[in-house]
Amino acid sequence: MLSFLPAPLRGVLAGLMLALNTLAHCGPLFAVALLKLLLPIPAIQRLLRYVMHGIGESWISVNKFWMNLVYPTRWDVQGMEGLDMRHSYLVTSNHQSWVDILALQYLLNRRMPLLKFFLKQELIWVPVIGLCWWALEFPFMKRYSKEYLAKYPEKRGQDLATTRKACERYKTNPVSVFNFLEGTRFTPSKHQQQNSPFQHLLKPKAGGIAFVLDAMGEQLHALVNVTIHYPQGRPSFWDLLSGQVKSVVVRFEKMAIPTSFIGKNYDQDDAYRLEFQQWVNQLWEQKDAQLEALKQQFPST
């Protein structure tokens, strides 16, 4: 354990371990990804995807090692029963910090298929890790402003096309498709700017997971609804590296996806779109109440 060291030194050491871990895994990952490009044979590509997922899981395992090394974070976790590696899942969560992603990977690694996050197009240019996300077939979404779409209406629907293209690749192997419904990290300023009706959440954006259901509905085994609470407040990525995330509370809920949603078209069916948005809002109302209850149960220390 490195908890006896000063926090800045722990942060530097953890950052170094993260960088070395990423560099050590990206070489094999890129080699397998190149092989997959050169061998467009479905059976071989399916096998190579398993290999690539194994490399990703190994990277996460090493991250778990240094996370445990810098500080023994207290994890209060419930609801992970029933998850497995054999099925595909749709996963969503509230979003407060970059720590959310590593926390979810920490808990879910090898308990369910590798999480595939929807990422902003710009993130593909992040050195090394951007190419890793590309090699692992994470979907990159290019977001357009309303003003841009008004000027270039032909760009409408491209997110749906990107989602469908990504999900087509996911049909050969079990996968966990992850989407932050809020679309961005919660901050008080964003909350105020949105005039969000929720106390602890931003407004949910239903389109992302609706498009996944459109493309993969019958393949998805369940929705995994995750709620994350940090009793000490929203941590920064540096807080994680330097071992200052003392405790994390996570609640998982495995939910059946309504059969009435399967085979529908969110983009073209107005009645279905309204029904789906109402369902998502109900999920968010329950999550907001759960966060308030967790805040009372695990007060700031």
CATH of the domain at 164: 3.40.1130
Identity of residue 277: Q
- Domain span at residue 152 reads 73-297
From the number of C-beta atoms within 10 Å of its C-beta (0-12, 13-18, 19+), residue 231 rates as middle
Read off the tokens for 24: 């050590």
pLDDT of residue 262: 87
In a domain, 50, yes or no: no
In a domain, 207, yes or no: yes
Q: Supply the mean pLDDT for the chain.
A: 91
Ranges 38-42, 138-142, 297-301, most confident: 38-42
In a domain, 55, yes or no: no
Q: State pLDDT tens for residues 173-208.
A: 899 999 999 989 999 999 999 999 999 999 999 988
Identity of residue 74: R
Number of domains in the chain: 1
In a domain, 230, yes or no: yes
Provide the Cα torsion 40, 44, 159, 30; round to 10°.
Answer: -90
In a domain, 48, yes or no: no
pLDDT tier at 65, thresholds 50, 70, 90: very high
Residues 6+ away with beta carbon under 8 Å from 34: none
Q: What distance in Å separates the CA atoms of residue 170 and residue 175, rounded to the nearest whole number?
A: 6
Q: What is the three-class DSSP state of 117?
A: strand
pLDDT tier at 72, thresholds 50, 70, 90: very high
In a domain, 199, yes or no: yes
Q: What distance in Å separates the CA atoms of residue 35 and residue 40, rounded to the nearest whole number?
A: 9
Q: State pLDDT tens for residues 227-251.
A: 999 999 999 999 999 999 999 999 9
In a domain, 26, yes or no: no
pTM confidence score: 0.91
pLDDT tier at 159, thresholds 50, 70, 90: low
pLDDT tier at 139, thresholds 50, 70, 90: confident
